[in-house]
Amino acid sequence: MRRGRRSGLYTIVAVHSTARGPSLGGCRMWGYADSRDAVADALRLSRAMTFKAAVADLPLGGGKGVIMRRAGEPPLDPELRRAALLDFADTVDALEGRYMTAEDVGTSDADMTVIAERTPHVTGLAVERGSSGDPSRWTALGVQEAIHVACERVWGSRELAGRSVAVVGLGRVGGALARGLAAEGARLVAADVDESKRALAGALGAEWTDPESAMRADVDVVSPCALNAVLGAESIPALRCRAVAGAANNQLASEEAAALLMEREILWVPDFVANAGGIINISVELEPEGYAPERAEGRVRAIGDTLRTVLDDADAAGTTPLAAAMALGYRRLAEASAPPPAASLGAPPA
């Protein structure tokens, strides 16, 4: 945690694990009431990234970056924003490759280009630079695959034509997801706190409502794509869907919420399984062959296979999808941390 010498803003990097490889996680520029809240957010999100990467079987660990703005203050002017990005770049560079950054809430691929002026440990740069650019469409594609598998489990068919889905949050990921679902013939209920997103809902033929009503809509699937902690003791009893699968991070208000969903026979897809498309896409950038969108698409669509494994494990153990996904992540972390078998070290010298 540093206070930037250019901007005066706090820049924070949390590294949760490097057991499977360098930690990767986006840079979030967000408003917080207190610097302790910003640190807590970075720590919590870095842990989630560890399990997201491990469950997706990526050679990466979990980290997160935060540029802290003060809650309630207006967005940074261009000069101060650039200064904050350069300060954050210095914080990233101090870790000497143990953490790699990418865009996240409040930042863009253009911001990554600024950060890259001060450190090479940046991913998700613009397509024009041979990188993969905005990861939103890949995150949306992974969530769509997860919804296919959820429908397969609940209704015996992965077809979305005729299914009803409430997409709660029409930002970059939620908007891309809504377009994909509409293209497959799903009937949409759409919501966002930003009234300007109503135009997209209208173009897709979606029913427009407010986020709270969308969570309680009488639909087949609810897809939270904005706020975290939306599933808890108060909201779960009001759900009228059979499955929940969305892009938002940390959807459960507490781990006990997973059991409440199971008791109500609502299939919840662990968020860090469904929304791994972005980090999977970025991992392709790091391969020796360089980035290729067709390779990225195949890897992102494999989220469906990962989710089937998680749900099979949950059924076999009689536990929640959350517990099964966490157990899979712990196994993969343990395997990465274990010393190699003696036989793999080669024969002793004669």
Give residue 349's pLDDT band: very low, low, confident or very high (50, 70, 90).
Answer: very low
Averaged over 164-191, what is the pLDDT?
97
pLDDT tens per residue, range 207-242: 999 999 999 999 999 999 998 889 999 999 999 999
pLDDT tens per residue, range 178-199: 999 999 999 999 999 999 999 9
pLDDT tens per residue, range 312-322: 999 999 999 99
Give residue 341's pLDDT band: very low, low, confident or very high (50, 70, 90).
Answer: low
pTM over 0.85? The answer is: yes
Read off the tokens for 171.
């930002």
Q: Is the pLDDT of residue 117 over 80?
A: yes
Give residue 347's pLDDT band: very low, low, confident or very high (50, 70, 90).
Answer: very low
Q: Which of 155-169, 186-200, 277-291 has the lowest mean pLDDT?
A: 277-291
Q: How far is CA 319 from CA 158, 313, 328, in A?
A: 23, 8, 13
- 147, 160 contact by CB (below 8 A): yes
Give residue 124's pLDDT band: very low, low, confident or very high (50, 70, 90).
Answer: confident
Q: What distance in Å separates the CA atoms of residue 121 and residue 112, rounded to the nearest whole number? A: 10
Averaged over 134-163, what is the pLDDT?
96
Averaged over 269-274, what is the pLDDT?
97
- What are the catalytic residues? 64
Q: What is the pLDDT of residue 340?
A: 59
Q: What is the pLDDT of residue 257?
A: 97
DSSP annotation string for 211-275: HHHHHT-S-SEEEE-S-S--BSTTTGGG---SEE--S-SS-BSSTHHHHHHHHTT-EE--HHHHT
Stretch (H or E) spanning 53:
helix 35-55
Q: Is 170 helix (H, G, I), strand (E, B) or coil?
A: coil
Q: What is the pLDDT of residue 344?
A: 42
Q: What is the pLDDT of residue 290?
A: 85
Q: What is the pLDDT of residue 350?
A: 35
- Mean residue pLDDT of the chain comes to 93
Q: What is the pLDDT of residue 133?
A: 72
Tell which wins on pLDDT, 55 or 344: 55
Q: What distance in Å separates the CA atoms of residue 189 and residue 210, rounded to the nearest whole number? A: 10
Q: What distance in Å separates the CA atoms of residue 57 and residue 215, rounded to the nearest whole number? A: 31
Name the nearest CA neighbour of 25 among 84, 90, 142, 105: 105
